């Protein structure tokens, strides 16, 4: 059964949604991607700075499995006594496979580090169109393999949007290769079906103020390249699951452009005997947890932290 929040959207959510709807994202094509990345980086930087100031995490650059990563910990959460190791979470940022980086997701990562007390490793995977599938997934696989050894399997995974796609693709691959699974998975508005063209009968303005069908179609084409988009590592909704899949929390909003995919994924996993907690937040949109001014974002991050902490204990 879907777990939906019972209250109406907060005043802050309604106000922010109106502002975002007035700033609908422009069309995307390969020629505009470099400029789009710069614009997004500039736009997100105040939120990144606010998260760093509010939570004051300790952040360092490291290499894991040959991949550049950020190591983020709550202040004071440094080397432990033997037998009291810090929990470890592997985090995968979003951006439609066309951009983004670990630092840009600090509005989500920093509060989660504070709430869980975990060591969060956020990788900077390669993105398209310069590095299409399976480059980013291979980067994630390399980091995952190294951390599973380092943590003796005491590891959880988090992915948002395209990062959720990569996390799911990694676990599909892990199942195929009979690799060990993590303790738990949290997915924020995961992109699970790259074949989707959208429902033309639903006006875009009535849905998500931040994510359009046009963007999804262009991004999926540039990321998938010549590969069949029904490949389970590209579109995990086409995968076969079983009860070995780890306990999973999925968050989305009723206006999330990817909400139907989130619900379909939850149904597929439950049918395979997987423990799934799906939370649909009314009136909220794609990866609303990024917006620190929303009480719903704070509440969702607290729920995610509790879910992962319980399963890493």
Say if CB 62 and CB 69 are below 8 A apart: yes
Range of the domain at 195: 3-312
Q: pLDDT tens digits for 51-67? A: 999 999 999 999 999 99
- CATH label of the domain that carries residue 171: 3.40.50.1820
Question: Which band of pLDDT confidence, cut at 50, 70 and 90, is reported for residue 81?
Answer: very low
pLDDT digits (tens, 9 = 90+) for 190-217: 999 999 766 655 665 568 999 988 899 9
Write the CB contacts of 268 (distance below 8 Å, at least 6 apart in sequence).
237, 241
Residues 36-69 as b or e (16 or more Cβ within 10 Å = b): bbeebeeebeebbeebeeebebebeeeebbebeb
Q: What is the CB neighbour count within 10 angstroms for residue 18?
A: 10
> pTM surpassing 0.85?
yes
Q: What is the total count of domains within the chain?
A: 1
Average pLDDT over residues 257-280: 97
Question: What are the pLDDT digits (tens) for 98-131?
Answer: 999 999 999 999 999 999 999 999 999 999 999 9
Farthest-apart Cα atoms in the chain, separation? 59
HSE, side-chain direction, 13 A CA sphere, residue 116 = 31
d(C-alpha 162, C-alpha 305), whole Å: 20
For every residue of 67-133, DSSP letters joined together read EEEEEEE-TT--S--TT-PPPEEEEE--STTSS--TGGGHHHHHHHHHHH--EEEEE----TTTS-T
């Amino acid at each position: 059964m879907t777990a939906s929040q019972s209250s109406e959207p907060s005043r802050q959510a309604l106000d922010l949604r109106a502002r975002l709807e007035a700033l609908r994202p422009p069309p995307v094509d390969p020629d505009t991607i470099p400029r789009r990345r710069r614009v997004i980086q500039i736009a997100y930087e105040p939120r990144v700075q606010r998260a760093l100031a509010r939570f004051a995490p300790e952040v360092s650059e490291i290499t894991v499995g040959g991949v550049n990563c950020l190591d983020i910990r709550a202040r004071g959460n440094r080397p432990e006594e033997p037998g009291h190791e810090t929990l470890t979470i592997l985090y995968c940022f979003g951006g439609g496979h066309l951009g983004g980086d670990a630092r840009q997701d600090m509005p989500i990562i920093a509060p989660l580090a504070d709430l869980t007390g975990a060591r969060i490793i956020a990788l900077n995977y390669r993105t398209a169109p310069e590095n299409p599938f399976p480059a980013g997934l291979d980067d994630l696989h390399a980091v995952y393999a190294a951390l599973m050894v380092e943590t003796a399997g005491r590891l959880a995974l988090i992915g948002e949007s395209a990062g959720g796609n990569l996390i799911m693709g990694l676990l599909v691959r892990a199942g195929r290769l009979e690799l060990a699974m993590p303790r738990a998975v949290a997915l924020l508005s995961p992109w699970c079906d790259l074949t989707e063209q959208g429902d033309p009968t639903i006006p875009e303005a009535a849905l998500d103020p931040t994510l359009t069908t046009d963007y999804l179609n262009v991004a999926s084409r540039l990321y998938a390249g010549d590969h069949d988009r029904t490949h389970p590592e590209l579109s995990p909704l086409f995968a076969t699951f079983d009860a070995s899949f780890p306990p999973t929390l999925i968050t989305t909003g009723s206006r999330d452009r990817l909400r139907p995919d989130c619900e379909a994924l939850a149904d597929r996993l439950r049918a395979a005997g997987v423990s799934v907690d799906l939370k649909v937040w009314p009136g909220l949109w794609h990866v609303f947890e990024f917006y620190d001014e929303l009480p719903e974002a704070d509440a969702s991050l607290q729920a995610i932290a509790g879910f992962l902490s319980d399963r890493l204990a």
